[in-house]
Amino acid sequence: MHIDFKTEGGVAYFPGLSKPFTLDSNSLPAAQAEQLQQLVTKARLLEQPNASKAAKSTARTRAVDGRRYTITLEEDGHKHTLQFADPITDPDVQALVDFLNDARRPT
């Protein structure tokens, strides 16, 4: 599984600090790769509408200074792009966003 993760906006938004992040589950330790797969499954990413459809519905509920997240999931030759905005009301999607934010931080 290959994930591209991008964060935009927010109160203290600095474009240089919010560079897109790519995560390949094959490069993760087995436990982390399994955790990522479980988070993606629980968040039902592949069942949600693509970014163009979802953006219209979330634009009305988005916080003015909230962050926007774009997740592109590529698996088995299929690519699916989703966009979410703060506040994320689905706890499973929020858990995935938290995992991706933690994974992008240098150790």
Reported confidence tier of residue 24, pLDDT bands at 50, 70, 90: very high
- Look at residue 55 and tell me whether its pLDDT is greater than 50: no
Q: Contacts by 9-15 with C-beta closer than 8 Å and gap 24+?
A: 9/65, 9/66, 9/67, 9/68, 10/65, 10/66, 10/67, 10/86, 11/65, 13/67
Q: What is the pLDDT of residue 74?
A: 95
Q: What is the pTM for the complete model shown?
A: 0.82
Domain extent listing, the chain: 2-104
For 59-74, the pLDDT digits (tens) are: 445 556 688 999 999 9
Report the distance separating Cα 84 and Cα 71, nearest Å: 8
